[in-house]
A = this chain, B = another copy of it.
């Protein structure tokens, strides 16, 4: 009984020194994650994809978490490069709208990026943190330049940022939960059966998606936030809260 052979019975030839690098591993990890999904990325699976022994990976990354952190760094770099640059003196409404619309599109189109940057529990490296904060700093400067106080600018940025993350993550989770599990057919249910006693939802269900993660939903949410920000700016100009007692 042969025990630890490859499935096809072939045995790899030993790789020569320097034939593997940390970058190769990260690259391969992205390939595997793109093909399946991030949480199906396993060290043995990755090793097979790279055609190396599993333990070779551990020379470069002492924990799987280290590898994921390295991937997150690369993801942040990718993300920052894909984001459109700020147009100076652009109206803040347009700047915010474009920034977060782009952000949503990027994460929607690249699930691995979203998993690494938004869903996985990780702390960014100094460099990744810096790159992300530089983007934020740019938007804050733009907001402040057009009249927001620094505190309000920060709150504005956080609010729309959290909203965007919320819609991306919710959308991702919905997408995952409806992915046919290969076994097919035994999902818990396809459709609600009884809308009785819920006439409003019943009447809306045919024309609107329920989940609230559609383009229309996103546009609506961003629109309402921007509207609320405008009011804030107006109130800020009208009557700055009297300082001191």
Contacts and interface: CB of A to CB of B under 8 A. Distances in A.
Interface stretch (A2-10, A18-26, A46-54, A170-178): A170-178
A137 B177 contact: no
Given A130-B192, A200-B137, A173 B119 contact: yes
A16 to B, nearest CB: 32
Given A123-B187, A159-B212, A212-B159, A228 B224 contact: yes
A32 B163 CA distance: 32
Interface residues of A, number: 72
Given A123-B189, A137-B201, A221 B158 contact: yes
Contacts of A124: 188
A204 B150 CA distance: 7
Contacts of A228: 223-228, 231
A121 interface: yes
A154 B204 CA distance: 8
Interface in A115-133: 118-126, 129-130, 133
B192 A133 contact: yes
From A123, A134, A193, A226, name the one whose CB has the most chain B CB atoms within 10 angstroms.
A123
**Shortest 8 CB-CB contacts between residues of A and residues of B:** A166-B166, A158-B212, A224-B228, A227-B228, A159-B221, A121-B176, A228-B228, A162-B166
